[in-house]
Amino acid sequence: MKTLRIAGASLVASVLIAAGCGGGGGIGGTGQDAGTMRVSIGDAPACGYDSVNVTIERVRVNKSPTAGDGEAGWSEVVLSPARRIDLLTLTNGVLEDLGQTSLPAGRYTQLRLVLAANDAAHPLANSVVPTGGQETALDTPSAEQTGLKLNLDVDVPAGKVVDVALDFDACRSVVRLGNSGRYNLKPVLSATTVLSDAGQRVVGYVDPSLAIAGTTVSVQSAGIVVKATAPDTTGKFVLYPVPIGSYDLVVSAAGHVTAVTTGVPVTLAAYTYVASAALPIAPSISTPADRQVTGTVTPASATVRALQTFGGNITVEVRSGIVDGLNGSFQLMLPNGAPVSSPYAADPLLLNFIADAGAAGRYSVEASSSGTSKAQAVDTSAPVAPLNFTFP
């Protein structure tokens, strides 16, 4: 996911600033009534793409969650010239500053990230490069007009600066349209308020053999991914910024069992370290091999993921499915081997991963559409018949 960091009054303003040296525009706060917003952008792993490029023109924020494009109350940062960013260069805790702006103090509840259009002069302003393929235009109809909308809940106090990080989940945001060679942008965005550079960060290592395409490391809460990244070539991973709390750290790699470290604390005061270069997390090869689970969802805009419960009460997301934007078909590659888990320990020597044989190959495949979810249980120890989910 790409991460935009906004500091000051509004997450939205920060994002706009991230576009580069753009100046502030619209309604700005002055004197004791103003706060400041600073923004930066980052990303999480993307499945099946070498590049995901977006060209940002402006970021707009409003105190009203329902304000329309032409209504009052918008503050904005204009990027001049518009800035083209490859989201996939901003992984593993890397944040790119977008800038800062002054705006009226208060609670901001709506952000819109406005992208440039793919036109004759800039046909690839927004584009994707499929792994092993050629650069292709990315259709972004909504972003070219009213912008990519994100609901916020951010207070910008008078005289204070607020940092906000936006996650742009490139993997889930790019939708392939059958065999047409076309791709649509269906943005999956989230925001995290950055409270401290001294903390809100999880740092650790997986075995370097897992530093391959498709490996993800995420922190999750009750099966919901809060932040995700891919390890670098040494196996090191950095998750930042992460809200204060306690999480399950999940390592998911093709051909390997899922490894989970439970109770990973995230604080303001210091980094949280999980494992080390000398003693990395090294989930074993899954035996038998991963099993493919396929199916369809209606409408094709629905999302699909696979959850696994083990250790009595630990539920994590193991994989998210790639759904075809035309026919709603999806596929998931799921490990058959028993997942392993260990309670968090600051000392890597004290991590003790134990397998749960009873959970091996047992998943709940969940589809979601417009706030409604449906699930089907599957057992990948044998071939799984195609799944079908239909929503009203």
**Dihedral angle of Cα 60, 171, 98, 61, to the nearest 10 degrees:** 10
Global pTM reads 0.84
The dihedral sign for the CA sequence 311, 257, 364, 366: positive
- pLDDT band of residue 25 (cuts 50, 70, 90) is very low
* CA 294 from centre of chain: 23
Look up the CATH number of domain 291-336+357-390. Answer: 2.60.40.10
pLDDT tens, position by position, 245-296: 999 999 999 999 999 999 999 999 999 999 999 999 999 999 888 999 999 9
Confidence check: pLDDT of 306 > 90: yes
In the prediction, which pLDDT does 87 show? 86
Average pLDDT over residues 132-151: 84
Q: Which residue has the higher pLDDT, 141 or 352?
A: 352
Q: Give the H or E element holding residue 14.
A: helix 11-18
Confidence check: pLDDT of 209 > 70: yes
Q: For residues 168 and 189, is the Cβ–Cβ distance under 8 A?
A: yes
In the prediction, which pLDDT does 169 show? 81
Whole-number average pLDDT of the chain:
86
pLDDT tens, position by position, 73-106: 998 888 888 889 898 887 777 776 766 778 899 9
In the prediction, which pLDDT does 296 show? 97
Q: Give the H or E element holding residue 253.
A: none
